[in-house]
Amino acid sequence: MSETARLTELADLIPAAESLRDIRHHIHRHPELAYEELQTGALVAGKLEEWDWQVTRGVGETGVVGTLKAGEGTRSIGIRADMDALPIVEETGLPYASGTHGKMHACGHDGHTTMLLGAAQRLAVTRNFSGTVHLYFQPAEESGIDSGAKKMIEDGLFERFPCDAVFGVHNHPGAEPGVLLFRKGPFMSAGDKAIITIEGVGGHAARPHLTVDPVVIAASIVMALQTIVARNVDPSQPAVVTVGSMHAGTANNVIASTAKLELSVRSFSAEVRALLKKRITELAETQAASYGGKAIVEYIEGYPVVINSDHETDFAIEVARELVGDDKVVAHTDMLMGSEDFAFMLQQRPGTFLRIGNGVGEDGCMVHNPHYDFNDRNLPVGAAFWTRLVERYLSR
Ligand code: ZN
């Protein structure tokens, strides 16, 4: 059997580990926030061109798409990596720590991008498939509302670079590095935001009877909101309503005129999501009215639920088992309350979003923490997984 006729093994990517690590550290050192990923996008595009991929820049503002065809096959596959960093001051003290104060790759998107580049390099050499591969390097996963995945889709991603199925990965603190975790069906929650503005009547702290105190209304709303998950949502359905921010007032002897609450709302089904929106609005409005004030609720729908299709998830699990062995594959991991804008891509195409362990114990620092770092041991594993997934999906 010739070198190019056999499927990629983990060992094939080990020689690339060092160069992938250098790429990852470079991206880590130069973090860019949502829709600012110009240097990162240029690095990605440059590497892809060096490896003879066809490159399209500016898809969804700062997104980059790489395309590689081989053989006569008509099937196609899409794989996505996110490129953006977070507005966090890095405290890792690493030699390749962020060179830009206040920006940091604290969610491992530097690693996601590098693993996919590793696959791009390998696929360009072996070309052991028949069909079309599109790699979607997307901006702005962290933006929460103004999603980079959505922007790429609105820019014609799936018409201009069509695929039969789409795949993506996120690193996963709390599992050993190199372990691949999967789940069919709903996997990660929808994440919405609600802003409640309470209007009262301000005045002197010593004359409360002449005011409508928005602080009291806000406090009452916060407590009432706790009953939604406890008393309105079916106990078998996961849901979260968190008041993450509460602001009112300027001084101890002043009763404020307004107060503001900001909520994070998570759910796993369209029914629960609609119920949460309805109850938050009703409760806030009626609580405020009962005190003689007014609540204005702005409900902003963020990322939808990540729903993995059965067939593509089974396929990806099969490839993972071939590559890393059964003991490093979790086929039915827990649902996660975090949100992911890859959900928008999964609304357009069947596919799966998987997780790769980033470390446990001391190495298990959670994402969005100033001490977090992507685990470099995953670079060859992720690159080999994407390569083999393509080879198997587009098998000759
Ligand atoms: Zn992330």
For residues 89-100, give the mean pLDDT: 97
Question: What is the whole-number distance in angstroms between the Cα of residue 6 and the centre of ligand 1?
Answer: 33
Question: What is the whole-number distance in angstroms between the Cα of residue 103 and the centre of ligand 1?
Answer: 14
Question: What is the whole-number distance in angstroms between the Cα of residue 109 and the centre of ligand 1?
Answer: 6
Residue pLDDT, tens place only, 15-66: 999 999 999 999 999 999 999 999 999 999 999 999 999 999 999 999 999 9
Question: What is the whole-number distance in angstroms between the Cα of residue 85 and the centre of ligand 1?
Answer: 9
Question: What is the whole-number distance in angstroms between the Cα of residue 173 and the centre of ligand 1?
Answer: 11
Question: What is the whole-number distance in angstroms between the Cα of residue 339 and the centre of ligand 1?
Answer: 9
Question: What is the whole-number distance in angstroms between the Cα of residue 222 and the centre of ligand 1?
Answer: 29
Q: How many CA atoms lie less than 13 Å away from 221 in the CB half-sphere?
A: 39
Cα–Cα dist 72/65, whole Å: 21
Of the spans 145-149, 159-163, 358-362, which averages the highest pLDDT? Answer: 159-163
Q: What is the CATH number of domain 10-187+305-393?
A: 3.40.630.10
Cα–Cα dist 77/135, whole Å: 9
Question: What is the whole-number distance in angstroms between the Cα of residue 307 and the centre of ligand 1?
Answer: 17
The whole-number pLDDT of residue 1 equals 41
The one-letter amino acid at 247: H
Question: What is the whole-number distance in angstroms between the Cα of residue 289 and the centre of ligand 1?
Answer: 40
Question: What is the whole-number distance in angstroms between the Cα of residue 220 and the centre of ligand 1?
Answer: 34
Question: What is the whole-number distance in angstroms between the Cα of residue 228 and the centre of ligand 1?
Answer: 28
Q: What percent of the chain has pLDDT over 90?
A: 96
Q: Is the pLDDT of residue 90 over 90?
A: yes
| Residue in 334, 134, 169 with CA at minimum distance from that of residue 238 | 334
Q: Is the pLDDT of residue 249 over 60?
A: yes
What average pLDDT does the chain have? 96
Domain boundaries defined on the chain: 10-187+305-393, 190-303
Question: Residue 211 — very low, low, confident or very high, per pLDDT cuts 50/70/90?
Answer: very high
Question: What is the whole-number distance in angstroms between the Cα of residue 208 and the centre of ligand 1?
Answer: 47
What residues contact 156, with CB distance under 8 A and at least 6 apart?
none
The whole-number pLDDT of residue 3 equals 46
For residues 281-296, give the mean pLDDT: 98
Question: What is the whole-number distance in angstroms between the Cα of residue 56 and the centre of ligand 1?
Answer: 24
Question: What is the whole-number distance in angstroms between the Cα of residue 110 and the centre of ligand 1?
Answer: 10
Question: What is the whole-number distance in angstroms between the Cα of residue 141 and the centre of ligand 1?
Answer: 7
Tell me the C-alpha to C-alpha distance, in Å, between residue 300 and each of 104, 224, 256, 346, 347: 26, 20, 26, 20, 19
- Find where tokens 């206040």 sit: 102
Q: Please, which residues have CB less than 5 A from ligand 1, an ion? A: 107
Question: What is the whole-number distance in angstroms between the Cα of residue 142 and the centre of ligand 1?
Answer: 7
Question: What is the whole-number distance in angstroms between the Cα of residue 252 and the centre of ligand 1?
Answer: 41
Question: What is the whole-number distance in angstroms between the Cα of residue 249 and the centre of ligand 1?
Answer: 35
The whole-number pLDDT of residue 2 equals 46
* Class of domain 190-303 (CATH, top level): alpha beta
Question: What is the whole-number distance in angstroms between the Cα of residue 266 and the centre of ligand 1?
Answer: 17
Question: What is the whole-number distance in angstroms between the Cα of residue 335 and the centre of ligand 1?
Answer: 16
Q: Is the pLDDT of residue 166 over 90?
A: yes
The whole-number pLDDT of residue 126 equals 96
Residue pLDDT, tens place only, 352-395: 999 999 999 888 999 999 999 999 999 999 999 999 999 999 99
Residue pLDDT, tens place only, 314-329: 999 999 999 999 999 9
Residue pLDDT, tens place only, 326-364: 999 999 999 999 999 999 999 999 999 999 999 998 889
pTM of the shown model? 0.89
Cα–Cα dist 50/68, whole Å: 13
Question: What is the whole-number distance in angstroms between the Cα of residue 170 and the centre of ligand 1?
Answer: 6
